[in-house]
Amino acid sequence: QLNMAKKKEAFLKEFREGPLHFQPTYKFDLNSEVYDTSEKKRKPAWTDRILWKVKNLSESASKEGKIPEEENLISVTLNSYVSHMNYGISDHKPVTGTFMLEMKPLVSDPLVVLSPEGEWSAERDVVIRYSALPELPSSAWDWIGLFQVNFRHLKDYITYAWVEDDEISFSGDSKQVYMSASEMPTTGGEFLLCYYSNNLQAIVGISEPFQV
């Protein structure tokens, strides 16, 4: 039924699916691996499915008459597509897919280069030096965050400094901002500095790892 729908419905044609190398996942008697024994005796079916589609920039850009140089900014590889027959709390058996995503950078050079100044510790205020390319659309709401090297989300920062409010010096293309010692991690470890652009809604510069 799904394969027939994919042939007829335009919006489904671009969706992909892995091979169905598992038995039908519907309909089961509860808390068992026995297919439907009720009066309806439903025919086993692959009801639970995982489909995916990669929407690249070329799709939206083509509508405006602009085609980017690099069309495939994201590639997806399916690593596994399996059912889990040991779960019996529903008349469906759950299905999972594991994917590998490769995302190519939108820009080859960072818009901001930043680094910690001197030795960092929780005993004194610390200084960050950074320089930005002229094409960076800077904002008063830009900030630099201190992150552990294994951070997973933008909100995982330890502390941050506003690039304008906490600026302490300016020289040519280089600027300095400070972070308060009271916000430094007392346990120490390995960290990164990240520059967040409010206008671009993205991290546009990451420092090399360093010790606190």
Same domain as 187, residue 137: yes
Check residue 184 and give its pLDDT. 92
Check residue 178 and give its pLDDT. 94
The count of C-alpha atoms lying within 13 angstroms of the C-alpha of 173, restricted to the half-sphere facing its C-beta, is 10
* Residues whose CB falls within 8 Å of the CB of residue 105, separated by 6 or more in sequence, listed in order: none
Q: Which residues partner with 101 through β-bridges?
A: 76
Same domain as 23, residue 5: yes
Element (H or E) spanning 162, and its range? strand 159-162
136-183 pLDDT, tens digit per residue, is 998 999 999 999 999 999 999 999 999 999 999 888 789 999 999 999
Domain that holds residue 161: 112-211
100-150 pLDDT, tens digit per residue, is 998 876 666 889 999 999 999 989 999 999 999 998 998 999 999 999 999
The token pair at 201 is 């809604």
Check residue 55 and give its pLDDT. 77
Check residue 56 and give its pLDDT. 62
Check residue 80 and give its pLDDT. 97
Mean pLDDT confidence for 200-206: 93
Distance CA(26)–CA(6), nearest Å, equals 21
Same domain as 98, residue 169: no
Mean pLDDT confidence for 67-91: 82
40-71 pLDDT, tens digit per residue, is 989 999 999 999 998 765 555 444 444 444 55
Residue 73: which CATH number?
3.60.10.10
Same domain as 117, residue 95: no
DSSP state of 209: P
Check residue 62 and give its pLDDT. 46
Same domain as 133, residue 69: no
Distance CA(159)–CA(143), nearest Å, equals 10
Residue 132: which CATH number?
2.60.40.2840
**16-46 CB burial, b ≥16 within 10 A, e <16:** ebbeeeeebbbbbeeeeeebeeeeeeeeeeb
Choose among 163, 162, 167, 157: nearest CA to 191.
157
